[in-house]
Amino acid sequence: MKKRPLLLLTLLALLLTGAVNVEAQKRTSKTRRNTTEKAAAKVFNPATDPPFLNANQAWVDSVFQTLSPEERIAQLIMIPVYSNKDQAHIDSISALVRNYKVGGLIFFQGGPVRQAKMTNRYQQESKVPLMISIDAEWGLAMRLDSTTRFPYQMALGGIEDEELIYKMGAEIARQCRRLGVHVNFAPVVDVNNNANNPVIGFRSFGENKYNVTRKALAYMRGMQDEKVLANAKHFPGHGDTDVDSHVGLPVINFSKIRLDSVELYPFRELMKNGLGSLMVAHMNIPVLDNTPNLASTLSKPIVSDLLKKEMGYKGLVFTDALNMQGVAKFYEPGIVDVKALLAGNDMLLNTMDVKTTIQEVKKAIANGEITQEEVDARCRKVLAAKQWLGLDNWQPIETKNLIADLNNPYADYLNQQLVEASLTLLRNKQNILPLQRLDTLKVAALAIGTDTETDFQRGLARYTKVDTFFLTPNTSIAELMALKERLQDYNLVIAGVHKLNLKAGSSNFGITAEMNLFLKDLIRTKPTLVSVFGNVYSLAMFEDLGKADGLIAAYQESPITQDVAAQMIFGGVGAKGKLPVTISNSFRIDDGLMTQGGLRFAYTKPEAVGLKTADFAGIDSLVAQAMEQKAAPGAQVLVAKDGKVIFQKAYGFHTYDNTVPVQKTDLYDLASVTKISTSLAAFMKLKGEGRFDVDRTLGEYLPMMQGSNKENLKYRDILTHQARLQAWIPFWKETVKKNGKFKWRTFKADSSKRFPIKVAQNLYIHRKYAEKIYNEIKDSPLNEKPGYVYSDLSFILAPLVVQNITGEDFETYLKENIYKPIGATSLTFNPYKYYHPRDIVPTEHDSLFRKQLLHTTVHDEGAAMLGGVSGHAGLFGNANDVAKLMQLYLNDGTFAGETYIGGNTVSEFSKCQFCEEGNYRALGFDRPAKPGAQNSNAAPGAPVESFGHSGFTGTYTWIDPVNNLVYVFLSNRVHPTRENNLLGKLNTRTNVLQVVYDAMEKSKKVQQ
C-alpha cells in the first residue's frame, strides 16, 4: 500500500521531466533556427547574392520534409506547355503534375487568358506550388498573343538611357506576375560579335561587352525588383557562333583568354549584382571540355567547375531546352536530362520524358555518380527560389481584366519611349531631317517588300500629303520601269523597307536583286530617305545605302516602330539612338546622328505630358452617349498638349446605317469653324504683314461697299459681331418660285458655260449669281439697335477683301501661304475635287433647297451658292489638320520653326475686345461667356484666356494658351436633319473638353 504513492510520485516526476525536456527542446530548436537564420542573414549579401538566398527557410524545410526522394528529383524538372494546343495536351500536362510532382512549367505559344486558366488548374493540382517560366525577351508577346511587344534587345542596345531599360524590365516583370509567371528567361547577355549568327543576332544588346552588360544589368534589376527571377543566357556566351543550336551543335574554337575577357564578362558582372538565375547554352567548347559532340550544358568542367566553383555562382542554373538538337540529336530523352544534372545544372528545362528522367537520376544516385545530398541541396535551392517568388502564398490568377492589365497605357507609353530612344539616324545629308518647307515638297511614300499600305505610310500622311507606291519582291522588270516613271514627278521619295527576314543567313534577309538595284538607282537619281524596318545587319546587303539623303535603322518591324520613324522624319520626335554593332565599313558601332524633336506634332499618350490615359476614359463615354441618343452618328476627337497629340480617336459611322466607319483621316464639313480657319487666318496673316488693320473700315478694303451703309464699319466691330450687320440672309429662297421650282436664271441640273458652278449633285448655279449675293449684302439694312449680333455677312465678303488686298484667289492664298506650309493639306473647299466620297462625311438630307443628301458639297446654303468657297462656311478637313492650324494660333503664328502670322497678331486677336460692354468675343474668335453662365460655349474649366469657335454641323475647336492645349471635335450632328440639336443639349463638345481639364486637375493634386 505504501509503494503506490511512491510510484505515483515517480510517474509524476517523469511526466514533469518530459514536459520540461519537450519545452527545452522547443527552446533549443527555436534557438538553433534563430541562430541559423541569423547566420544566413550574415552570409547573404543583397548586393551580390541571388535574392532568394534570403528566403524563409522555415517554409523550405517544411515543404522539403514532405517530399519523397523521387519528388525531390521532380522539383528539378520543368516541362514545356502550350496554351494554344488541344485538350489532350492540357490533360497530359495535368497528369505529369499530379503523378510526378514536377517542379515547374515553361509556357510557349498561346494566349494569356488560356495560359492563366491552365496555370490555375495546374497549381491547384500540384503538391508543391509550380515555378512558372516563359521566354519573354521582348515581353510576353514573344510567346503570347494580345500582349505588349517591346523592342528587340538589339534595338535596346542603341539606347543611351539605361533607366528606360530598367523600367521595361520592371514592367515586363509586373506583367509576368499578373499572369502568374515567376521566371523570365531574359536578358540575353551574349556579346553578338558575329554578324552571321543565326540564333542570337537581333536578340543581343550588341557587340560591345560593356554596353551589353549595362543594358543587361538594367533589365535584370528591373525584373528582380518586381520579384521576377531574371535569367542571363546563354552561358558561357553564344554570340560568336554561326550554327543555330536549335538545329545543330555549334563549336567554339577560341581561347580561354578570349572567353574570359569577352563572353564571360557580362555574366560575371551580373553575378556580382545579384543575378537570380542563368541558362547554360548548347555549345561544344574544346578549350573548356574537349569531349567530342558534348554540349556545354552536359559538361561538368563547364557547369560545375567553371560556373559554380571558379566563378562562384550561387543562383539557379537552368539548362537550355533539352529537346533542342544541340543535345537531343546525341542523347535520348531522360538520358540527356540526367547528364545535364550530373554536369551541375539545377533545373532541367523542357524535359520530354519525366518518368525516364526520374528513373535515370535514381540510377545515377545508386551508381554513385551523384549523391542524394546533392539532389536534396538543389531541391532546397529551388524551394528557396519559390518562397522568394511568393509561392508560399500562392493565389489564383484573376482572369477578369487580364488583357487590359497586360496592355496598360503605361506599358504602351514606355514602349514608345524605348522605340524613340533606339531609332538610329545614320545619314542626314545637308540636315534634310527633320523635313522643312513642306510646301516645296511633292512626296512619294514607297513601301519596299509589300503591296499593302503600311503603318509607316499612314504615319507620314499625318504630316503632309503623300502618295503611296509599292515595290514587292516579285515585281517584274516592266513593273519596275513603270514605277520608276511614275516617281519622276516627285522631288522626295521616302522609302520604307518591310517584310525582311529576321535571322541572318536567310537569303540576304529576303532582299532581292531587283529591290536592291531599284533602291540604288532611286538614291542615285533623286532625294531619297530610307527607313529599314528589320534586322540591322540587313543594311549591309543593300548597295550604296550610305549614299541616301537620309537613312534610319529601325531594327524591327512593328506598328509603333513605323509610327515613330515617321514622326522622326517630320520632327515630331528627335533621333537619339546609336548603332550597337558594326555592320560594315559604312555603318560602324556607335554611329548615330542626333536631331531635335518638337518641331511638329508628336503623336503619343497622355502620360507624355504627365497625365493618365485612364483619366481620358470619360471621352469615350460621352461620345458613346451622344451616338446612342442619336445626337450624331460619329465623330473625331483630338487633344494636343505641349505640342503633342495625346488623344486622337474616330468614333461611330458616317451615317446611321452604320456601313462606313469614321476614320481619323475622313473630312468633315467644318461649318462656322471656317470663319477662324479661313477669313481670320488671312486677316491675321495680313495684319502681321502690315496690310490689314482692324481699325480701318470695310469700305477701305472693299471698294464695292463704298457709298453703302457699310462703308464706315470698322473691322474691330465687324469681327466682334457688333457692327449692326444682320445675322444672315436666306439667299436660296430668292431662287425659288411659288410652285417650289427654281427660277430659270438660277439653277440647272447640268453644268454649262452659263451654269458652271456646282452647288450640289446635279445642281449648278448661274456664273454671275455671286454678284447678286454680294449686292444683296450691300443693300441689306443694318440692325436698328447697336450691340452684339452674331453675323455671317462680313465673312461672306472676306474672300473679296483678301483678294482685293493680295491680288490672289482666296482659296489659293490660304493653301499656298498657310495650309500647305504647315502640312494641313486636308483643309479644302469643295473636297469632291480632291477626295473619294468614302473619305468625306455626309451632312444633312436637305428636303427644302437641294432636296438630297448633302455629301461632298457644303451644307451651308450661302456657301453652296457661292460655289462652295466662302469665308463663313465651306471649309472641310479632318481633326488632325484643324489641330495643326490651331497649334499655329497657340504658338502665336509660328509653326515648325517658321513664322506665318507675325507681330503677336494671334495674341492680339484672341483677347476680349469689349468685355466691359458685355460683349465677350475676341476678334473673330469666340471666348468663354460671362463667368457663371450656364451652357457656356466653353468647358467650365477653360480659362478666360482661351478661345475658339463652334460650327453648326457639330464641329468645335478650342485653344488654351494657359495650359498649352488644342482641342478639336468634329461631327455631323445635322445628319439626317438640322432639327436634331441633341448634341448641343447634351453639351457633348464642351463636356469632352472638360474631361481633359479634370484629368489635368487630378494630375496636379497627385503631384502636390
pLDDT tens track for 634-649: 999 999 999 999 999 9
* Catalytic residue, candidates 190, 244, 320, 926: 320
What span, in angstroms and rounded, lies between the C-alpha atoms of 318 and 346?
6
The answer to whether residue 246 is catalytic is yes
The answer to whether residue 859 is catalytic is no
* pLDDT > 80? residue 30: no
150-178, pLDDT tens digit by residue?
Answer: 999 999 999 999 999 999 999 999 999 99
* pLDDT > 70? residue 16: no
User: What is the share, in percent, of the chain residues with pLDDT greater than 70?
Assistant: 95
What span, in angstroms and rounded, lies between the C-alpha atoms of 301 and 298?
9
100-150, pLDDT tens digit by residue?
Answer: 999 999 999 999 999 999 999 999 999 999 999 999 999 999 999 999 999
Burial of 958 (0-12, 13-18, 19+ CB in 10 A): buried
413-434, pLDDT tens digit by residue?
Answer: 999 999 999 999 999 999 999 9
Which residue segments constitute the domains of the chain, with CATH numbers given?
A: 51-404 (3.20.20.300), 423-600 (3.40.50.1700), 632-729+781-976 (3.40.710.10)
Handedness of CA 291, 293, 294, 297 (dihedral sign): positive
* pLDDT > 70? residue 21: no
Q: Could you give the angle at the alpha carbon of 194 between the alpha carbons of 589 and 198, nearest 5°?
A: 125
Q: Which three cell numbers stand for residue 811?
A: 482659296
CB 743 within 8 A of CB 672: no
Which residues lie below 8 Å from residue 952, measured CB to CB, with a gap of 6+?
671, 672, 859, 860, 873, 974, 978
* pLDDT > 60? residue 796: yes
* pLDDT > 50? residue 346: yes
Residue 112, preceding peptide bond in cis (omega within 30° of 0)? no
pTM of the model: 0.93
* Catalytic residue, candidates 89, 145, 242, 246: 246
Q: Could you give the angle at the alpha carbon of 624 between the alpha carbons of 633 and 883, nearest 5°?
A: 75
Q: Could you give the angle at the alpha carbon of 23 between the alpha carbons of 20 and 27, nearest 5°?
A: 135
Position 86 scores a pLDDT of 97
Q: The sheet that has 492-497: what strands, in order across it? A: 424-428, 550-553, 528-532, 492-497, 443-448, 466-471
Confidence of residue 22 (pLDDT cuts 50, 70, 90): very low
In DSSP terms, which residues pair with 493 in a beta bridge? Answer: 444, 528
What span, in angstroms and rounded, lies between the C-alpha atoms of 612 and 646?
10
952-998, pLDDT tens digit by residue?
Answer: 999 999 999 999 999 999 999 999 999 999 999 999 999 999 999 99
